[in-house]
Structure 1
Amino acid sequence: MKKRTKIILITFVIVYGVASLALQAFRNHMDNEVIHYLVATRDYKNEDLYKVHTQISKAPVVSTTVIFADEPNARYFYRKEKDRIYQYSMALVKRFDPNYTYKHIEEGLP
Protein backbone atom coordinates (compact mmCIF):
# COMPACT_ATOMS: atom_id res chain seq x y z
CA MET A 1 0.00 0.00 0.00
CA LYS A 2 1.35 3.41 -0.91
CA LYS A 3 2.26 5.84 1.84
CA ARG A 4 -0.30 8.39 0.62
CA THR A 5 -3.11 5.80 0.70
CA LYS A 6 -2.17 4.85 4.26
CA ILE A 7 -2.23 8.48 5.36
CA ILE A 8 -5.67 9.03 3.79
CA LEU A 9 -7.01 5.85 5.40
CA ILE A 10 -5.63 6.74 8.84
CA THR A 11 -7.02 10.29 8.54
CA PHE A 12 -10.44 8.93 7.61
CA VAL A 13 -10.44 6.53 10.58
CA ILE A 14 -9.44 9.32 12.97
CA VAL A 15 -12.08 11.75 11.64
CA TYR A 16 -14.75 9.04 11.78
CA GLY A 17 -13.77 8.13 15.35
CA VAL A 18 -13.80 11.73 16.56
CA ALA A 19 -17.17 12.38 14.89
CA SER A 20 -18.65 9.23 16.45
CA LEU A 21 -17.42 10.20 19.91
CA ALA A 22 -18.77 13.74 19.52
CA LEU A 23 -22.16 12.42 18.42
CA GLN A 24 -22.34 10.03 21.37
CA ALA A 25 -21.34 12.83 23.77
CA PHE A 26 -24.12 15.02 22.33
CA ARG A 27 -26.69 12.25 22.75
CA ASN A 28 -25.61 11.67 26.35
CA HIS A 29 -25.82 15.40 27.03
CA MET A 30 -29.38 15.58 25.64
CA ASP A 31 -30.40 12.48 27.62
CA ASN A 32 -29.13 14.16 30.78
CA GLU A 33 -30.87 17.45 29.97
CA VAL A 34 -34.23 15.72 29.50
CA ILE A 35 -33.73 13.69 32.69
CA HIS A 36 -32.89 16.90 34.57
CA TYR A 37 -36.01 18.57 33.13
CA LEU A 38 -38.23 15.68 34.21
CA VAL A 39 -36.71 15.45 37.70
CA ALA A 40 -36.31 19.17 38.47
CA THR A 41 -39.35 20.60 36.67
CA ARG A 42 -41.90 17.80 36.45
CA ASP A 43 -41.14 16.21 39.87
CA TYR A 44 -40.28 12.73 38.61
CA LYS A 45 -37.65 10.58 40.29
CA ASN A 46 -34.85 8.82 38.42
CA GLU A 47 -36.45 5.46 39.19
CA ASP A 48 -39.65 6.65 37.43
CA LEU A 49 -37.72 6.66 34.14
CA TYR A 50 -37.29 3.27 32.51
CA LYS A 51 -35.45 4.38 29.36
CA VAL A 52 -34.25 7.70 27.94
CA HIS A 53 -32.75 7.73 24.44
CA THR A 54 -31.85 10.61 22.13
CA GLN A 55 -31.80 10.10 18.39
CA ILE A 56 -30.88 12.33 15.51
CA SER A 57 -33.08 12.03 12.44
CA LYS A 58 -34.89 14.09 9.81
CA ALA A 59 -37.68 15.94 11.61
CA PRO A 60 -37.45 16.92 14.34
CA VAL A 61 -33.71 16.83 13.97
CA VAL A 62 -33.05 15.86 17.61
CA SER A 63 -35.65 13.96 19.60
CA THR A 64 -35.43 12.29 22.99
CA THR A 65 -37.68 9.32 23.70
CA VAL A 66 -38.69 8.61 27.29
CA ILE A 67 -40.32 5.42 28.51
CA PHE A 68 -41.62 5.58 32.08
CA ALA A 69 -41.24 2.63 34.45
CA ASP A 70 -44.96 2.47 35.25
CA GLU A 71 -45.96 2.64 31.56
CA PRO A 72 -43.46 0.57 29.54
CA ASN A 73 -45.77 0.26 26.55
CA ALA A 74 -45.82 4.01 25.79
CA ARG A 75 -43.17 6.38 24.46
CA TYR A 76 -43.09 10.11 25.09
CA PHE A 77 -41.12 12.39 22.81
CA TYR A 78 -39.26 15.50 23.96
CA ARG A 79 -37.19 18.10 22.19
CA LYS A 80 -35.26 21.22 23.03
CA GLU A 81 -35.72 24.54 21.28
CA LYS A 82 -34.27 27.84 22.46
CA ASP A 83 -33.20 26.39 25.84
CA ARG A 84 -36.72 25.06 26.46
CA ILE A 85 -37.44 21.33 26.76
CA TYR A 86 -40.98 20.20 26.08
CA GLN A 87 -43.01 17.11 25.28
CA TYR A 88 -44.28 17.25 21.72
CA SER A 89 -45.83 13.82 21.15
CA MET A 90 -46.40 10.30 22.42
CA ALA A 91 -47.04 6.89 20.91
CA LEU A 92 -47.48 3.30 21.94
CA VAL A 93 -44.45 1.07 21.55
CA LYS A 94 -45.93 -1.76 19.48
CA ARG A 95 -49.46 -0.95 18.43
CA PHE A 96 -51.94 1.83 17.76
CA ASP A 97 -54.93 2.24 20.06
CA PRO A 98 -56.95 5.47 19.74
CA ASN A 99 -58.64 4.79 23.09
CA TYR A 100 -55.40 4.43 25.07
CA THR A 101 -55.06 6.87 27.98
CA TYR A 102 -51.52 8.12 28.45
CA LYS A 103 -50.44 8.60 32.08
CA HIS A 104 -47.66 11.14 31.57
CA ILE A 105 -49.10 13.49 28.99
CA GLU A 106 -48.17 17.12 29.65
CA GLU A 107 -50.59 20.02 29.37
CA GLY A 108 -50.91 21.54 25.93
CA LEU A 109 -50.96 18.23 24.07
CA PRO A 110 -54.10 16.64 22.62
Structure 2
Amino acid sequence: MKKKTKIFLISLIIIYGVISLVLHSFRNQMNNEVIHYLVDARDYKNEDLYKVYTQIGKAPVVSTTVIFADELYARYFYRKEKDRIYQYSMAPVKGFDPNYTYKHIEETLP
Protein backbone atom coordinates (compact mmCIF):
# COMPACT_ATOMS: atom_id res chain seq x y z
CA MET A 1 0.00 0.00 0.00
CA LYS A 2 2.81 2.41 0.83
CA LYS A 3 4.51 1.76 -2.48
CA LYS A 4 1.33 2.67 -4.41
CA THR A 5 0.97 5.85 -2.36
CA LYS A 6 4.57 6.86 -3.09
CA ILE A 7 4.13 6.20 -6.82
CA PHE A 8 0.88 8.21 -6.80
CA LEU A 9 2.52 11.17 -5.01
CA ILE A 10 5.55 11.11 -7.30
CA SER A 11 3.22 11.00 -10.33
CA LEU A 12 1.28 14.01 -9.01
CA ILE A 13 4.50 15.96 -8.45
CA ILE A 14 5.70 15.15 -11.97
CA ILE A 15 2.35 16.13 -13.52
CA TYR A 16 2.30 19.39 -11.54
CA GLY A 17 5.86 20.15 -12.63
CA VAL A 18 5.13 19.48 -16.30
CA ILE A 19 1.96 21.62 -16.24
CA SER A 20 3.81 24.46 -14.49
CA LEU A 21 6.62 24.30 -17.04
CA VAL A 22 4.18 24.34 -19.97
CA LEU A 23 2.25 27.33 -18.55
CA HIS A 24 5.47 29.23 -17.84
CA SER A 25 6.70 28.55 -21.35
CA PHE A 26 3.36 29.64 -22.86
CA ARG A 27 3.37 32.91 -20.87
CA ASN A 28 6.93 33.66 -22.02
CA GLN A 29 5.95 32.95 -25.62
CA MET A 30 2.94 35.31 -25.40
CA ASN A 31 5.05 38.02 -23.76
CA ASN A 32 7.60 37.73 -26.56
CA GLU A 33 4.93 37.81 -29.27
CA VAL A 34 3.34 40.97 -27.86
CA ILE A 35 6.76 42.62 -27.47
CA HIS A 36 7.58 41.62 -31.05
CA TYR A 37 4.25 43.11 -32.23
CA LEU A 38 4.84 46.38 -30.38
CA VAL A 39 8.44 46.74 -31.56
CA ASP A 40 8.01 45.63 -35.17
CA ALA A 41 4.44 46.63 -36.07
CA ARG A 42 3.88 49.62 -33.77
CA ASP A 43 7.44 51.07 -33.83
CA TYR A 44 8.09 51.04 -30.09
CA LYS A 45 11.52 50.38 -28.63
CA ASN A 46 12.21 47.84 -25.89
CA GLU A 47 13.04 50.76 -23.58
CA ASP A 48 9.48 52.07 -24.06
CA LEU A 49 8.07 48.96 -22.38
CA TYR A 50 8.22 49.03 -18.60
CA LYS A 51 6.44 45.76 -17.87
CA VAL A 52 4.87 43.00 -19.97
CA TYR A 53 3.14 40.02 -18.41
CA THR A 54 0.62 37.41 -19.49
CA GLN A 55 -2.20 36.09 -17.34
CA ILE A 56 -4.36 33.06 -17.92
CA GLY A 57 -7.80 33.41 -16.41
CA LYS A 58 -11.42 34.08 -17.23
CA ALA A 59 -12.62 36.04 -20.27
CA PRO A 60 -10.52 36.62 -22.26
CA VAL A 61 -8.78 33.40 -21.37
CA VAL A 62 -5.30 34.72 -22.17
CA SER A 63 -4.47 38.40 -21.75
CA THR A 64 -1.13 40.17 -21.96
CA THR A 65 -0.78 43.38 -20.00
CA VAL A 66 1.65 46.10 -21.06
CA ILE A 67 2.73 49.06 -18.95
CA PHE A 68 4.69 51.67 -20.88
CA ALA A 69 7.71 53.42 -19.35
CA ASP A 70 6.28 56.90 -19.96
CA GLU A 71 2.86 56.00 -18.54
CA LEU A 72 3.34 53.91 -15.42
CA TYR A 73 -0.21 54.38 -14.15
CA ALA A 74 -2.01 52.86 -17.14
CA ARG A 75 -2.33 49.27 -18.30
CA TYR A 76 -2.99 48.21 -21.88
CA PHE A 77 -4.42 44.78 -22.61
CA TYR A 78 -3.51 42.72 -25.66
CA ARG A 79 -4.66 39.36 -26.90
CA LYS A 80 -3.93 37.03 -29.76
CA GLU A 81 -6.71 35.70 -31.91
CA LYS A 82 -6.22 33.85 -35.20
CA ASP A 83 -2.53 34.82 -35.35
CA ARG A 84 -3.42 38.50 -34.92
CA ILE A 85 -2.36 40.49 -31.87
CA TYR A 86 -4.43 43.52 -30.96
CA GLN A 87 -5.10 45.88 -28.10
CA TYR A 88 -8.59 45.29 -26.76
CA SER A 89 -8.75 47.51 -23.69
CA MET A 90 -6.95 49.77 -21.25
CA ALA A 91 -7.35 50.65 -17.58
CA PRO A 92 -5.58 52.55 -14.84
CA VAL A 93 -3.26 50.57 -12.60
CA LYS A 94 -5.18 51.74 -9.53
CA GLY A 95 -8.42 53.63 -9.08
CA PHE A 96 -10.52 55.23 -11.78
CA ASP A 97 -10.23 58.58 -13.51
CA PRO A 98 -12.86 59.20 -16.22
CA ASN A 99 -10.93 62.22 -17.53
CA TYR A 100 -7.63 60.39 -18.02
CA THR A 101 -6.25 60.47 -21.56
CA TYR A 102 -4.37 57.33 -22.55
CA LYS A 103 -1.20 57.96 -24.55
CA HIS A 104 -0.84 54.58 -26.26
CA ILE A 105 -4.40 53.76 -27.31
CA GLU A 106 -4.54 52.06 -30.69
CA GLU A 107 -6.95 53.48 -33.21
CA THR A 108 -8.72 50.19 -33.97
CA LEU A 109 -10.12 48.71 -30.80
CA PRO A 110 -12.59 45.88 -31.47
TM norm structure 1: 0.97
Q: Which residue of 1 aligns with 2:109?
A: 109
Q: Which residue of 2 aligns with 1:19?
A: 19
Listed as ranges, the matches of 1:1-110 within 5 Å are 2-109=2-109
Pairwise CA distance, 1:109: 3.4
Pairwise CA distance, 1:77: 0.1
Identity %: 81
Tell me, in whole angstroms, the C-alpha distance in 1 between the residues paired with 2:109 and 2:91: 12
TM norm structure 2: 0.97
Tell me, in whole angstroms, the C-alpha distance in 2 between the residues paired with 1:69 and 1:46: 10
Unaligned runs of 5+ in 2: none
Tell me, in whole angstroms, the C-alpha distance in 2 between the residues paired with 1:11 and 1:20: 14
Aligned length: 110
1:46-77: CA deviation from partner (whole Å, max 9, x where unpaired): 00000000000010000000000000000000
Unaligned runs of 5+ in 1: none
Pairwise CA distance, 1:28: 0.2
SS at match of 1:13: helix
